[in-house]
Structure 1
Amino acid sequence: MDQIINLLTHEEVTDVDEESFLLFAQDIPSNNLGMLNPRAPSVEISINGNEYTVHQSPSLLSSHRAGGTTGAVLWKITPLFAEWITNPANPLWTNAILSQTSTVAELGTGISALVALALAPSVRHYIATDQEYVRKLFRANLDANASVSVSSSNSKAKGKSKGSKSFKSKPSSTARSVDNISFTTLDWETDQAASLKECMDPDEAHGQDGEEEGEEDKGFDLLLSCDCIYNEALVAPFVRTCAEICRLRPVYVAGSEESRSRRRPTVCIIAQQQRSPDVFETWLREAMREFRVWRLRDDVLGEGLKSGSGYLVHLLLVK
């Protein structure tokens, strides 16, 4: 794990003020609020050669729903992140942090289902989480894109998952597998993150590592979040939820040798748009209480997400 971190990241972040100054002292492109096209009922997106149609709800976005409406439309960072995370040359793949046996969880998935659609064909199981109001459009976008042909070299056929929270596509010779995608509600302030895998098939929840060790693996290989940091009031419960999920796996100890019988810790990837330095500092300060934090290097991120793009990507490992 030490070697992989060195390949992916800059030096570990140890000073909140220094990291914030380095990031916000540079010129940042104007991305407005960060929504792609909030007035359109649907948008067309291309990711690594695959074409997607994302249905949105401009009316829901402009409503006064208690609990927020930001998940009702697609945000600009999401397609960029989906393209990066699914690129076979991404070091997460080449260093086996991600593989065809991986389980992935996403916080604040929104209605688009875009990261799930792009990544799920290449992993064992993908659990997307958000508030209940997202569910209907999330499912509609899974159904609308279930027949997208697969061009990723990481993809493989998946087994079916059970339960009403999994959305299944009709069989097709060119269909992208979405039957290993589950959606479940997760309120960062009130819900218990430890129960996330209950919506998976028991055999998938164990996974290969669990079978080898003879015990259930309730954790995840990767936890990700895309543009969920914009409200200071939600920062503490968001970070706490991330930490609770990551602690379902063993913590990372620098310099320790990881035996084959011990599962790797959950890698947490947080992508966000640069908006307010105050909100960023609040998040980073809270995150560093629970995690060790690194910022991903430009040569790892590529053009769309590198420094100066207006976006940030950090890697976290729980203490």
Structure 2
Amino acid sequence: MTEIASRSSSPDRAVPKCPNGLFNFPLDSVIVTDPDEEILELYMNLASTSPEIGPHQTDSGGLGFLDSTSSTLDLSLDLTPETGSGSSEAISGKTSTDVPIGHGRRGKNKNSRKVEDKSVDSVEVRIQQDIGMLKGRGGDTGSVLWRSSLHLARLILSQHHHRPPQSPTIINPEFFKKANILELGAGTGLLAILLAPICASYTASDRMENLKLVKRNLELNGLGAAGHTVLPDDSLHRKEKEKKAAKSNGETRLDVRLEEIDWIAVSEETKRQHGRGQSHHAHDGEEELVYDLVLAVDCIYNEHLVRPLVDTLARYCPVGGKTVVWVVVELRSADVLTTFLEAWTSDPSDPWTIVRLGEKGMGRWDGKRARWVGWVAWR
């Protein structure tokens, strides 16, 4: 283990600065070039605290759902800064199948409590899940909430509201508030709900079935949905009425842009363009938004979607541009992650610079070593 860590941190593989300044790479971050070496190190580290997980074993605890049995989740995230080697309980909540639909709560809790004489912000959110879609469509995993999304939201919001006094935040808050963000595989829309208020613009993408669920959850938590792909014919008129009503009440309604992105369709189009020696270009009348960050959280679980995902990352991360991608995944099946890293590091469209964020920067899960990995990359 020591030998592997030494090779990964060797001077000839020094981690460069983030090209758009969005990330501050922790000192224990490393460049990733060898998929087998990366996977071996990750799972040997994990096995030191979770002996049942090895390099070629699968987590018996499931895919990574928070709760795949309840149709509604009421969640409260205490944004308590981590201290030392542990952290306070970061996430609490109750699940219910009969909670009435209404406006969720977002932002600072009016009843902020004191912990060690420091004010602790909390964020409350209500998330609907589509249990029927999960069971009826044979693994439509985007219809329920995943643990890693919740932990990532807590990490970003905690550092946003409570900046570490002696070390930089993993994300530069001044850059983040100006960032245009695209999330691939938005699922239930939790990250869109919690992160949209602290960045310049947020686009949540998924297949059409899941975008309808995202739209419901946005509205449940007081946010609007922009984009023609999921709005009914009369929605524009209704949205204008809602905006006028909000304006008359002195309120500003925050919209999240929804976009249908089918990775398989993107991959097939990429193959056709490569066959013709072409690169992607916007269609006539298509508004081409350049993103600062492309976020993919727990999108790696099916080996048949690995190539389409890599092609989609490349589609929205132009060569030599300012865009970076952030791939976050809970460590479960090492075989699928190995397949992904092999495809990513050997992407024929153009070489990637891939940085694994250090464990110190990615934080811990409820005081324990985190079960995830975060890779930041650009071309």
Corresponding residue for 1:212?
none
Partner of 1:224: 295
More displaced, 222-231 or 80-89?
80-89
**One-letter amino acid matched to 1:241:** T
Corresponding position of 1:21: 40
> Higher mean Cα deviation, 168-177 or 238-247?
168-177
CA deviation map 1:146-189 (0-9, x unaligned): 17xxxxxxxxxx9x96756579676387978531x111111111
1:204-246, Cα deviation, whole Å (9 max, x unpaired): x7xxxxxxxxxxxx32100001101011110011011001100
1:240 matched to 2:319? no
- The corresponding residue for 1:102 is 179
Q: Distance in 1 between matches of 2:355 and 2:199?
A: 24
**From 130, 140, 150, the counterpart of 2:206:** 130
Q: Which has the larger radius of gyration?
A: 2
Retained in 2: the 8 A contact 1:235–1:283? yes
For 1:316, the equivalent position in structure 2 comes to 377
2: CA distance, partners of 1:59 / 1:175: 36
Query: SS of 1:314's equivalent?
Result: strand
Moved more, 234-243 or 183-192: 183-192
Between Structure 1 and Structure 2, how many residues are aligned?
270
Distance 2:227 2:213 in 1: 20
CA contact (8 A) 1:92 1:98 kept: yes
Query: 2: distance between equivalents of 1:165 and 1:97?
Result: 30
Task: Note closer, same or farther for the CA distance 1:245–1:61 as it changes in structure 2 (3 Å cut).
Answer: same
**Are 1:142 and 2:218 matched, yes or no?**
yes
Check the 8 A contact 1:43/1:55 in 2, yes or no: yes
Aligned equivalents of 2:293, 2:143: Cα separation in 1: 24
Q: Would you say the 8 A contact 1:103–1:221 is kept in 2?
A: yes
Contact 2:295 2:325 in 1 (8 A): yes
User: Are the counterparts in 2 of residues 146 and 176 from structure 1 also a CA contact under 8 Å?
Assistant: no
Post-superposition CA distance 1:238-262 (Å, at most 9, x none): 0110011001x634xxxxxxxxxxx
Q: Is the 8 A contact 2:170 2:362 kept in 1?
A: no
RMSD: 3.2
Supply the AA of the counterpart residue of 1:104. Answer: I
| Residues 276-315 of structure 1, C-alpha deviations (whole Å, 9 max, x = no match) | 1111111111111242111111221111399942211111
Q: TM-score, normalised by structure 2?
A: 0.63
Q: Counterpart of 1:92 in 2: which secondary structure?
A: coil
Cα distance between partner residues in 1 of 2:367 and 2:325:
18
Aligned to 1:279: 336
Q: 1:97 to 1:287 in 2, by over 3 A?
A: farther
Cα distance in structure 2, aligned partners of 1:195 and 1:97: 27
Letter in 1 for 2:323: T
Give the Cα separation in 2 of the matches to 1:105 and 1:269: 10
Amino acid of the structure 2 residue aligned with 1:51? E
* 1:70 equivalent in alignment to 2:89: no
Q: Percent identity, aligned pairs only?
A: 27
Q: Which amino acid aligns with 2:131?
A: P
Question: Is this contact kept in 1: 2:74–2:125, CA < 8 A?
Answer: yes
Partner secondary structure for residue 2 of structure 1: coil
Q: Report the secondary structure of 2:202's partner residue.
A: strand
The answer for unaligned runs of 5 or more in structure 1 is 148-157, 206-217, 252-264
Is the Cα–Cα contact under 8 Å of residues 38 and 73 in structure 1 kept in the other structure? yes
Aligned CA distance change for structure 1 residues 287 and 85 (closer, same or farther; 3 Å): farther
Amino acid at match of 2:353: R
Q: Secondary structure at the match of 2:75?
A: strand
C-alpha displacement at 1:11, in angstroms? Answer: 2.0
* TM-score, normalised relative to structure 1: 0.74
Structure 2 matches for 1:39-54, cutoff 5 A?
39-47=69-77, 48=79, 49-54=122-127
Instruction: Give the match for residue 190 of structure 1.
Output: 265
Confirm or deny that 1:59 pairs with 2:132: yes
Shift in Å, 1:40: 0.2
Structure 1 residues 115 and 143 mapped into 2: Cα distance closer, same or farther (>3 Å)? same
Q: 1:98-141 CA deviation, whole Å, 9 max, x = no partner?
A: 22x2110000001x211011111112211111111112221110
In 1, are the aligned partners of 2:208 and 2:230 still within 8 Å (CA)? no
